[in-house]
Amino acid sequence: MLTINLLREQPSAVIERLKIKNFDATEIIAHVLDLDRRRRELQSEGDALQAELNNLSKEIGSLMKEGKKEQAEAAKKGIGNLKERQKQLTEAFDAASAEMQNEIIRLPNIPHPGVAPGKSAEDNVVVRGGGGIPELYPGAVPHWDLIKKYDIIDFDLGIKITGAGFPVYKGKGAKLQRALINFFLDEGEKAGYREIEPPIVVNEDSGFGTGQLPDKEGQMYHVGIDNLYMIPTAEVPITNIYRDVILEAADLPIRNMGYTPCFRREAGSWGAHVRGLNRLHQFDKVEIVQIAHPERSYDSLEEMVSHVENLLKKMDLPYRIVRLCGGDMSFTSAMTYDFEVYSAAQQRWLEVSSTSNFESFQANRLKCRFREKGAKQTTLCHTLNGSALALPRIVASLLENNQTPEGIKIPKALIPYTGFELIS
């Protein structure tokens, strides 16, 4: 959520920069500023009235104390009208505030000046890449065939137990999951992240804090009886640790990470290119989250990008890093890097991580602030997060890229974690 101060102070600059996201904010901002003006007028009038009422009450109080009953009763007489007026003012103020809030919430985050304009993924900027595209042997097949051949991931069994998109990992398939999670967490710890094991269902306030609610409730599984939401990403609980918190500047940046299963309904997004592990309702992910000083949040972003890149290098996966153009960025992000690994048998790039700086957009909703040493004033923090990493597509490309006639070779860095070198 953008701050009202920014909209007040530089409305035209906001409109200009939101064009990069192909968003025309002209009308919304005009409406917001109008509501803001009205709201402030109403508040001034309401506050003055309240001050008058407070004074009258105090007078009545002292009259009562002095035993001047009649005078006190007389003073009560005029109050009725004032209270009627106050009721009107309060209602008008609440209405204007609520409407303003609803309008502001519709505005996406402002992209960083470094974000390129563009309409779709076609316009994204490839920053760099690494790892050679492997030459597969003639009998190579996509991962959805490999998992059957080696009986390591079972979609049909998942359908029986739960439904489509809930795979069952078996034997070496299950152990590979566990190995990847431990590998990612250990690497994260080396990079200075504190490990968190959060709840995987959250309340409404948390959903609102990171921006899943009120808009995207259709994308989350909802536990109706207790009004809780199953998390689509560990970003939600881990970032919400800092909801309604005032930090010290010296505490920043804060680096947390956590492994959780993630649940996504993916309503309406099934179709071509989502076979096998490419898109699931439940998957495992290690998420890294930083709370940063506004002046240094892009250092944090670079640091996170290097960390993710390092993971991909260690697993010898062919990858590329892409800076998303305005049109392909999420509503809440100011700058996003996507990491893609090449899936040799599918012959396409698969997104395995999205690492973003949200600047103060989430922090404003979260009320996550910090204070400079000695300062009285608080300032919104910047929040960042990234997948490091999401498992399914990593598994897909590991299986496809490393397949040989003898079986699937496990990358060296993972062998200490799997305890085996080959899936055969």
Judged by the rule CB under 7 A, the positions of this chain that interact with RNA are 4, 40, 43-44, 46-48, 50-51, 53-54, 56-58, 60-62, 64-65, 76, 79, 83, 246, 369, 371, 376, 378
Residue 314: phi and psi, rounded to 5, are -65, -25
Residue 279: phi and psi, rounded to 5, are -150, 125
In the structure encoding, which two tokens stand for residue 130, read together? Answer: 């690494």
> How distant, in Å, are the alpha carbons of 26, 104, 109 from that of 12?
8, 15, 15
Question: Among residues 223, 117, 164, 180, which one has the least CA distance to residue 311?
Answer: 180
188 membership: H or E segment, kind and range: helix 172-190
Question: Among residues 392, 389, 390, 372, which one has the least CA distance to residue 381?
Answer: 372
Which of 132/376 has CB closer to RNA? 376
Angle separating helix axes 26-65 and 69-77, nearest 10 degrees = 160
Which of 56/185 has CB closer to RNA? 56
Q: Where are the alpha helices (DSSP H) in 339-390?
A: 360-366
The CA distance from 346 to 369, in Å, is: 45
Which of 12/77 has CB closer to RNA? 77
Min. distance of Cβ 246 from RNA in angstroms? 6
Min. distance of Cβ 367 from RNA in angstroms? 7
Which of 7/334 has CB closer to RNA? 7
Q: Is the dihedral of CA 119, 116, 289, 305 positive or negative?
A: positive
Min. distance of Cβ 235 from RNA in angstroms? 23
Which of 38/320 has CB closer to RNA? 38
Min. distance of Cβ 53 from RNA in angstroms? 6
Min. distance of Cβ 104 from RNA in angstroms? 12
Which letter, b or e, does each residue of 320-359 get, where b requires 16 or more Cβ atoms within 10 Å of its Cβ?
Answer: bbbbbbbbbbeebbbbbbbbbbbbbbbeebbebbbbbbbb
Query: Is the separation of the CB atoms in 286 and 181 below 8 Å?
Result: yes
**Residue 137, helix vs strand vs coil:** coil
Residue 187 exposure: Cα atoms within 13 Å on the Cβ side: 27
Which of 4/6 has CB closer to RNA? 4
**Residue 186, helix vs strand vs coil:** helix
Which of 62/347 has CB closer to RNA? 62
Angle at 420 between CA 417 and CA 424, to 5 degrees: 140
Q: Is the peptide bond before 253 cis (omega within 30 degrees of 0)?
A: yes
Min. distance of Cβ 257 from RNA in angstroms? 24
Min. distance of Cβ 363 from RNA in angstroms? 12
Which of 92/141 has CB closer to RNA? 92
Min. distance of Cβ 261 from RNA in angstroms? 18
Min. distance of Cβ 315 from RNA in angstroms? 34
Which of 11/131 has CB closer to RNA? 11
